[in-house]
A and B are shown apart, each in its own frame.
Chain A
Amino acid sequence: MANVTFRNVRKSFGEFVALEELDLHINEGEFVALLGPSGCGKSTTLRMLAGLEFPTSGEIMIGDRVVNDLAPGKRDIAMVFQSYALYPHMSVGENIGYPLKKRGIKGRERDDAVQKAAELLQLDALLDRKPKQLSGGQQQRVALGRALVRDPQVFLLDEPLSNLDAKLRSYMRAELIELHRRLGKTMVYVTHDQLEAMTMASRIAVMHGGRVQQFDTPDAIYNRPANRFVAGFIGTPPMNQVEGTVEGGHFITGGHKVPIDRSAYADALRDGPVVLGVRPEAITIGKGEGLPATVRLAENTGHETIVTLELPDRTRISARVEAARRLDVGHSVALTFDPDAIHLFEASATGARLNLDAKSASVVSMRSK
């Protein structure tokens, strides 16, 4: 019953429009990540779902209730804040028990629930401590405990891992995936970290400029980005984008022909300017035949080398090669792209993918309305 729906939701703060038009449907039990750079509207979306902000227009539903005018405490949600927002004057046990206390659950029943949540998160030895006596990771778990103690319909998580160090973060990522699997509850997770979104979410809503750019599985987001923004946001380094034209079914840039798989486009492939997208791992660096380029930088990370290359028109692109490969800076090379891994986008500002399938197309067509 706990699916979440945003219908035509718009939010502005005075002159500033935080969300243009939001349509999202999150299924029950799904783990959805709202991913985007800061200022994209992802936190506003979450805060509206929590009831801490109110939409300027549109409808928000949890289950089949419209919750627009419902107080946060009546929405049957729990939220984990980026700052954890633990109550400093209360002990760990009191912090975790607070949502139950506010719902009139007393005595034994409350103690048992707190104990259960604490055991699940290995906090049972710390129940009498105050938040400031805990490490960052422990504080994080108390915040989680406070969220899951009363079994809400929807969990909202606002960048919960961003204050942890890298090692603890990857540990907590695994813990959260495990927790979601065990609880089977709907989770909405706001993050600017694509690694978190890619590894944890069943679906990702990539947001930018107050709009959802693409809402799909991590696999589809990576392999079939709906537009140039998504292509340029996902991946480290992100997808390379090369400007050029289509002429007679070929992609031409700087007078060089790049072979593409025409069958994938059908009649979408018309002559005119386009942007070609290719992931760093789909580029082969060789000699002789191919797109000429100059090596500008080679960064060896230990298990691979990221090579920065400059095309004749000064566009810089990156390629991923094996760590042992030696490439001298300043040398000329020839690039070939894997034809199956080439993406073509409109040359317009929105830069929609040329061969969008119907589902992603609906998101993008709304954008250009």
Chain B
Amino acid sequence: MKTLRPIVLNLVTWTLVLLIAFPLLWMIITSLKPQSELFRIPPTWIPESITFEHYWRLLSETPFLRYFRNSVVLAVSTTVFVVILGTLGAYSLVRFTYRGRETMAMLVLFTYLLPSVVLIIPLYLMIASLGLSNSLFGLILAHTTFALPYALWLLRSFMEGIPEDLENAALVDGASRMGAFKDVIFPQLLPGIISTALFTFILSWNEYLYALVLVNSESVTPLTTGVMSMLISAFNIEWSLLMAASVMMSLPLIVVFAFLQSYLTSGFGAGGVKG
């Protein structure tokens, strides 16, 4: 019995892992297969020959790199906007008392509950009337509006975990409000800021609908809509190119996660205040 238990547990765990990872693995395998091997039945699990020709074609013959650059600009700008606005907003919600504070916070959350399909037409009209339709900046604003509500609530709960006395102590010690924020609040908030940034980046990186509706010129199209319109047409799906594109699209997220994971789990703010 004693030896059986860990074996069963391991078996179950690894089955689950494989089940979840399978699409990912299949994506990588497909992207490395030569065209001839692609639709063979039964499928080859391990490619007979590995080729990088799809990657090469994607990079040299398609606007993939331009899309990639647009996506990076889009996701990074959105993240910066959301983190700055979210932090300021959360600070205000937690530290100051004013009329309508809770109502405002609830309203912001309410917009998050509405599906984006409902919001997209008014949003499109607003952005068009600002003269920002078909621009990357317009799309950045749109992404900011849908990532901000959740980010605000996330940062708010992190901010609530920081004792007010820490900030008061800094004020008494001679810091200005900005100084206290920079020296004391920000370092404590960092894990919260990193998780919020990560969340926002992923949301913006993967976003499809707003990009589809708000942007249609080649020069500002991000990866999601760009790759789709480039490789999927009514008559043909370029599977190997699509898989190669997908691998390269996932790469930045995996890298970012790998680097920030330790920040997310470390929670180094604990223990400074007693009581």
Contact = CB atoms under 8 A, between A and B. Distances in A.
Instruction: Determine the interface band of chain B, counting residues with CB < 8 A from chain A.
Output: 20 to 34
Contact of A84 (B170, B179, B274): B274
A126 to B, nearest CB: 15
Contact of B172 (A72, A87, A136): A72
Contacts of B268: 88-89
Contacts of B275: 82-83, 162-163
B273 A85 contact: yes
A98 to B, nearest CB: 5
Contacts of B273: 83-86, 88
A89 to B, nearest CB: 4
Interface in B216-275: 268-275
Given A52-B168, A72-B171, A85-B168, A98 B271 contact: no
Interface residues of A, number: 31
Interface string B78-109: 00000000000000000000000000000000
Interface string A77-101: 1110111111111000000001100
Contacts of B271: 88, 130-132
A359 interface: no
B224 to A, nearest CB: 38
B132 to A, nearest CB: 40
B175 interface: yes
Interface of A is mostly: loop
Contacts of A99: 173-174
A146 interface: yes
Given A85-B165, A88-B188, A79 B172 contact: yes
B173 A132 contact: no
A102 B272 contact: no
B76 interface: no
B169 interface: yes
Nearest to A152: B172
B255 to A, nearest CB: 26
Contacts of B47: none
B270 to A, nearest CB: 7
Nearest to B187: A89
B163 to A, nearest CB: 6
Contacts of A87: 166, 169-170, 183-184, 187, 272
30 contacts: A50-B168, A51-B172, A52-B172, A73-B175, A74-B174, A77-B172, A78-B173, A79-B172, A82-B275, A83-B163, A83-B273, A84-B274, A85-B165, A85-B166, A85-B169, A85-B273, A87-B170, A88-B268, A88-B271, A89-B268, A89-B269, A98-B170, A99-B174, A102-B170, A102-B173, A102-B174, A102-B175, A132-B271, A139-B274, A146-B173
Kindly list the 5 A-B residue pairs having the minimum CB-CB distance in the complex, ordered from nearest. A88-B272, A132-B271, A102-B174, A73-B174, A85-B169
